[in-house]
């Protein structure tokens, strides 16, 4: 069985740790087959984006699949073949896509014993191996598709947010490395109440704008007053790129996850292409090569390819 799980944009400006959406492309592919031997093994990893561990206890895909099997089919053995088709450490949810694909493949081979939403908690365990902490804002959209809300982490409660179908996004991945450690280090442990209130308003506005297909409300709400100001300093040219994307017509522009990728949410493919070009041009001025992905919001999430 061959499955695909898409790249994702987490946080979506104001929704730190709670919002995310899935892209049509890129994404990761996992081939999986049942084995007579219990446990999960990794047979092959294809990647042009750097080395990934074969040790099943260290690879995000095998950890996620193993946790799933332990709950639903303890005797089942699984052999994985991972085709990495997206950059690692890019802010595009690379480790989440592998975990999502693996756990979805295990779910299919095990006869679909639960709902897609139930898979999120197992994929999170894969995320934890890769990132050091178990976040769901990438794995949830990668599995379920669409625009997702992690309403609560304790207990885990994942919801789908309706959104206008015409939305398109440009995600630009600059070839710079931000260590997750550094991206976490800049986070404040405490938020001034007045900043929290500003973020409350933007989060409520973004959900309202998505639910009511109101582009101007989406645009004005795509504003992160807490995390972006801290993390964006790690990305050369960020503010110039953001302004250029919005001038090109984007509804908003912010970090994809913890960066360094930048996403621009737009009302059409044409605007997304224009915004993507603007962002890439700013990186080029800084002497930084980048890759641009233009995509709709993928409403399917993880899927079987054959």
What does the binding site for a copy of itself look like in residue numbers (CB under 8 A)?
15-19, 149-153, 157, 159, 161-162, 187-193, 196-208, 211-212, 217, 220-221, 226
Question: Which of 174, 259 has the CB closer to a copy of itself?
Answer: 259
Question: Which of 157, 179 has the CB closer to a copy of itself?
Answer: 157
Beta carbon of residue 218, minimum distance to a copy of itself (angstroms, whole number) = 11
Beta carbon of residue 191, minimum distance to a copy of itself (angstroms, whole number) = 5
Around 268, how many Cα atoms within 13 Å sit in the side-chain half-sphere? Answer: 5
For the record, the structure tokens of 211 come out as 């639910």
The beta-carbon contacts of 40-45 under 8 Å, at least 24 apart in sequence, are: 40/65, 40/66, 40/69, 40/77, 40/78, 40/79, 40/80, 40/106, 41/77, 41/78, 41/79, 41/80, 42/79, 42/80, 42/81, 42/82, 43/79, 43/80, 43/81, 44/81, 44/82, 45/81, 45/82, 45/84
Question: Which of 17, 81 has the CB closer to a copy of itself?
Answer: 17
CB contact at 8 A, 64 and 125: yes
Strand partners, 169: 265, 295
Beta carbon of residue 135, minimum distance to a copy of itself (angstroms, whole number) = 10
Cα(43)–Cα(49) distance, integer angstroms: 18
Question: Which of 124, 280 has the CB closer to a copy of itself?
Answer: 124
Beta carbon of residue 68, minimum distance to a copy of itself (angstroms, whole number) = 24
Q: What are the residue numbers of the active site?
A: 127, 180
């Amino acid at each position: 069985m061959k499955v695909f799980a898409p790249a994702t944009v987490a946080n979506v400006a104001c929704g730190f740790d709670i919002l995310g959406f899935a892209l049509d492309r890129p994404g990761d592919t996992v081939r999986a087959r049942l084995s007579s031997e219990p446990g999960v093994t990794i047979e092959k990893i294809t990647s042009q984006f750097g080395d990934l561990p074969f040790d099943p206890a260290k690879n995000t895909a095998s950890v996620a699949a193993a946790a799933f099997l332990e709950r639903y089919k303890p005797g089942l053995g699984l052999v994985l073949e991972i085709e990495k088709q997206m950059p690692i450490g890019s802010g595009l949810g690379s480790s989440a896509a592998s975990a999502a694909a693996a756990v979805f493949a295990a779910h299919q081979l095990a006869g679909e014993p639960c709902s897609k939403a139930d898979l999120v908690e197992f994929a999170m365990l894969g995320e934890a191996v890769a990132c050091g902490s178990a976040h769901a804002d990438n794995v949830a959209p990668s599995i379920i598709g669409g625009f997702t809300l992690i309403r609560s982490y304790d207990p885990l409660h994942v919801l789908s947010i309706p959104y206008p179908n015409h939305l398109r996004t440009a995600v630009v991945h600059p070839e710079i490395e931000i260590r997750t450690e550094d991206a976490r280090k800049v986070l404040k442990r405490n938020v001034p109440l007045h900043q929290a209130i500003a973020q409350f308003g933007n989060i409520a506005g973004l959900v309202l704008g998505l639910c009511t297909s109101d582009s101007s409300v989406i645009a004005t709400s795509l504003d992160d007053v807490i995390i972006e100001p801290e993390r964006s300093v790690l990305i050369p040219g960020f503010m110039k790129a953001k302004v250029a994307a919005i001038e090109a017509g984007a509804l908003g522009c912010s970090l994809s996850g913890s960066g360094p990728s930048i996403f621009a949410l737009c009302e059409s493919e044409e605007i997304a292409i224009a915004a993507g070009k603007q962002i890439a041009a700013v990186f080029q001025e800084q002497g930084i090569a980048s890759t641009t992905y233009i995509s709709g919001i993928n409403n399917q999430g993880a899927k079987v390819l054959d």
